[in-house]
């Protein structure tokens, strides 16, 4: 965007001149509006025109975490929103920086993470006439289809309203991403300090409780009572809702088996006797009534139909009857009929169900509970047998057995996880024992969230973070290890290195000198990247070496990257979503 003329009364450092000590500029007013609404951390990448906004925010007491790439700063802001149930804020420059952050904003919206992307932009009069300004782009128009709401503030007296609208939009109803456009001229505008103070808005109750209808509750209870093979499915919305004790009481009082989706693991400990995750492939098709709490029937649950649902005990596929809790009425019937929709916030809906459920609630039929337990026992033993192996080189299983044991001993650890095989195996092997301790790729299944999520998890909670990364996934955000070292964060990155995407054994089908598209440099020394910035690197080939390296990282809290060498043939094509690959079975 244009350079700011020297004649402007407010200088580029955001400091109002001595002659105008009764005035406040846009830089400071934006900061005050954020602080008034309990925003104390900003993630971003500095540059024109927002460098001085970041400097002044830091000077005024906001913690500013500067990344190497806006997408990862955006991912950090998004997961901060999930962890805190208030919007995480990402600050970027205009045009390319804005576009880099937009991927994270869209992903936040899809996953219902409250987030605000604030970007500097070129002046409207130049953009609207397409006169070729520096990084000229109509950012508001581009952002609108990809987020929940988008706003632009043109006048300093509207800063309070603009920030308030962004906060309320991000949090109300189904949470999501919001874009806030700040043209450069806004930041240097000035107004009277007292008038500015009065213009700010402290947002009150941005996510009000939405109480479910009594008739809807009665309908859901009646359906649940009629079930012969009931199942409760917990999604990450249940984790976001922070009504862990109420959900636990609902599950334990009813005696119904439950299945946690990936980021819902730990609301109840994964070793809870009612957990059905070890029997997932059995309970989904066999259940006759399914209560969805904070989970959507999207692709992760096969859209509620097909072979995943409607097993031998039902007359046809799709024979299940669903109760769904969601704050958005439009989510109901999105894939299959929802017989008992409960529209409201999760806490209110669960409390409403509990009001109709007491200790005399009938236990689910013994035949159902025994069948689930039998499948669980069989699969748990099968997994135990696999984990007991100690092959050379390591496999996903033998490496993740170590992580499983570490997390069990240190349940407060936050686990960040991405990849294909690295994601699938970690999810099924590593148990979680506390809520909101597992952060992963979420609804879209995107890669590249690893380092951004890890940084925010460490910043927002102060807890030890372990990031389990496939070597492909790590490549998307690996440079952020410098950010980890710069802020001396207690993050241990474990790269499961099998020399490629899925595996490192593919060959060039054309016979040329280039390696196959899925193959990386053999035996790459990823740990050297962490060492380059002053962190700790470890190169390990055995479970014993891996255990020692993780224990050192957890004890020292030092930024650590462990390059864990595993069998390059261990992976499978597309992990567990090969069915989504139209050419997975292509013969050449």
Looking up residue 572, the CATH number of its domain turns out to be: 3.40.50.970
8 within a domain of the structure (yes/no)? no
152 within a domain of the structure (yes/no)? yes
CATH, residue 272:
3.40.50.1220
Residues present in the chain in total: 588
CA distance 451 to 232: 32
CA distance 554 to 185: 47
Same domain, residue pair 180 and 239? no
Same domain, residue pair 274 and 324? yes
> Residue 587 is encoded by which pair of tokens?
């013969």
pLDDT, tens digit, for every residue of 291-306?
999 999 999 999 999 8
Same domain, residue pair 292 and 396? no
303 within a domain of the structure (yes/no)? yes
Instruction: Domain of residue 291: give its range.
Output: 214-365
Q: The whole model's pTM is what? A: 0.93
Q: How confident is the model at residue 587 (pLDDT cuts 50, 70, 90)?
A: very low
Same domain, residue pair 185 and 42? yes
Same domain, residue pair 255 and 309? yes
pLDDT, tens digit, for every residue of 192-245?
999 999 999 999 999 999 999 999 999 999 999 999 999 999 999 999 999 999
Work out the angle at residue 166's Cα, subtended by the Cα atoms of residues 165 and 169, and round it to the nearest 5 degrees: 80
Instruction: State the pLDDT at residue 16.
Output: 54
Cα dihedral 261, 263, 267, 268 sign: positive
Same domain, residue pair 303 and 421? no
Name the residue with tokens 């609207």: 128
Q: How confident is the model at residue 525 (pLDDT cuts 50, 70, 90)?
A: very high
9 within a domain of the structure (yes/no)? no
Give the count of domains, the chain.
3
Same domain, residue pair 418 and 555? yes
4 within a domain of the structure (yes/no)? no
1 within a domain of the structure (yes/no)? no
Same domain, residue pair 448 and 531? yes
Q: Which among 139, 165, 199 is the end of a domain?
A: 199
Same domain, residue pair 262 and 149? no
Which percentage of the chain shows pLDDT scores above 70? 93
Instruction: State the pLDDT at residue 310.
Output: 78
CA distance 504 to 327: 45
Q: How confident is the model at residue 311 (pLDDT cuts 50, 70, 90)?
A: low
Name the residue with tokens 């499983």: 404
**In the predicted model, is pLDDT for residue 503 greater than 60?**
yes
Q: Which H helix or E strand runs over 256?
A: none
Same domain, residue pair 188 and 228? no
Same domain, residue pair 57 and 177? yes
CA distance 121 to 94: 5
**In the predicted model, is pLDDT for residue 10 greater than 50?**
no
pLDDT, tens digit, for every residue of 57-95?
999 999 999 999 999 999 999 999 999 999 999 999 999
Q: How confident is the model at residue 14 (pLDDT cuts 50, 70, 90)?
A: very low
Q: Which among 365, 380, 401 is the end of a domain?
A: 365
Instruction: State the pLDDT at residue 317.
Output: 46
59 within a domain of the structure (yes/no)? yes
239 within a domain of the structure (yes/no)? yes
Same domain, residue pair 231 and 83? no
Q: Which among 173, 199, 225 is the end of a domain?
A: 199
Q: How confident is the model at residue 161 (pLDDT cuts 50, 70, 90)?
A: very high
């Amino acid at each position: 965007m244009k350079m700011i003329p020297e004649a402007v009364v407010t200088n580029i450092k955001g400091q109002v001149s001595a002659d105008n000590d009764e005035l406040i500029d846009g830089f400071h007013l934006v900061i005050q509006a954020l602080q008034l609404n309990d925003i104390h951390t900003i993630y971003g990448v500095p540059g024109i025109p927002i460098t001085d906004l970041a400097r002044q925010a830091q000077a005024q007491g906001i913690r500013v975490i500067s990344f190497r790439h806006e997408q990862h700063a955006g991912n950090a802001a998004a997961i901060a929103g999930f962890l805190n149930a208030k919007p995480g804020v990402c600050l970027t420059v205009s045009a390319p920086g804005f576009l880099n952050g937009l991927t994270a904003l869209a992903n936040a919206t899809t996953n219902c993470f409250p987030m605000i992307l604030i970007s500097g932009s070129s002046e409207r009069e130049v953009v609207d006439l397409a006169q070729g300004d520096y990084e000229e782009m109509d950012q508001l128009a581009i952002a609108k289809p990809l987020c929940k709401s988008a706003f632009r503030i043109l006048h300093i007296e509207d800063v309070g309203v603009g920030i308030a609208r962004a906060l309320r939009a991000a949090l109300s109803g189904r949470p999501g991403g919001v874009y806030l456009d700040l043209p450069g001229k806004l930041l240097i505008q000035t107004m009277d300090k007292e008038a500015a103070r009065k213009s700010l808005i402290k947002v009150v109750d941005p996510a009000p409780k939405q109480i479910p209808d009594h008739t809807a509750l009665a309908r859901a209870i009646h359906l649940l009572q009629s079930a012969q093979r009931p199942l409760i499915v917990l999604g990450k919305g249940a984790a976001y809702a922070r009504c862990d004790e109420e959900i636990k009481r609902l599950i334990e009082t009813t005696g119904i088996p439950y299945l946690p989706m990936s980021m819902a693991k730990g609301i109840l400990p994964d070793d809870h006797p009612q957990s059905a995750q070890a029997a997932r492939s059995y309970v989904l098709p066999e259940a006759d009534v399914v209560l969805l709490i904070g989970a959507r029937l999207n692709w992760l649950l096969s859209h509620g139909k097909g072979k995943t649902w409607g097993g031998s005990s039902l007359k046809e596929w799709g024979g299940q009857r669903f109760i769904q809790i969601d704050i958005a009425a439009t989510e109901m019937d999105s894939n299959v009929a929802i017989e008992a929709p409960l529209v409201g916030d999760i806490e209110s809906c669960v409390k409403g169900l509990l009001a109709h459920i007491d200790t005399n609630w009938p236990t689910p039929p013994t035949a159902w509970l025994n069948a689930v337990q039998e499948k669980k026992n069989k699969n748990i033993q099968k997994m135990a047998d696999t984990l007991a192996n100690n092959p050379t080189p390591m496999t996903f299983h033998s490496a993740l057995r170590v992580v499983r044991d570490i997390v069990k001993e240190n349940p407060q650890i936050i686990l960040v996880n991405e990849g294909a095989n690295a994601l699938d195996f970690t999810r099924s092997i590593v148990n979680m024992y506390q809520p909101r301790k597992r952060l992963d790729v979420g609804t879209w299944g995107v890669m590249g969230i690893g380092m951004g999520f890890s940084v925010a998890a460490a910043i927002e909670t102060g807890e030890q973070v372990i990031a389990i990364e496939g070597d492909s996934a790590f490549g998307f955000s690996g440079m952020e290890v410098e950010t980890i070292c710069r802020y001396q964060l207690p993050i241990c990155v474990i790269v499961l290195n099998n020399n490629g995407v899925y595996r490192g054994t593919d060959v060039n089908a054309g016979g040329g000198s280039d390696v196959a598209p899925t193959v990386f440099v053999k035996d790459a020394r990823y740990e050297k990247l962490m060492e380059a910035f002053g962190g700790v690197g470890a190169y390990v080939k055995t479970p014993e070496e891996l255990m020692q390296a993780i224990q050192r990282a957890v004890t020292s809290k030092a930024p650590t990257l462990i390059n864990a060498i595993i069998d390059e043939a261990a992976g499978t094509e597309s992990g567990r979503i090969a069915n989504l690959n139209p050419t997975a079975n292509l013969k050449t």
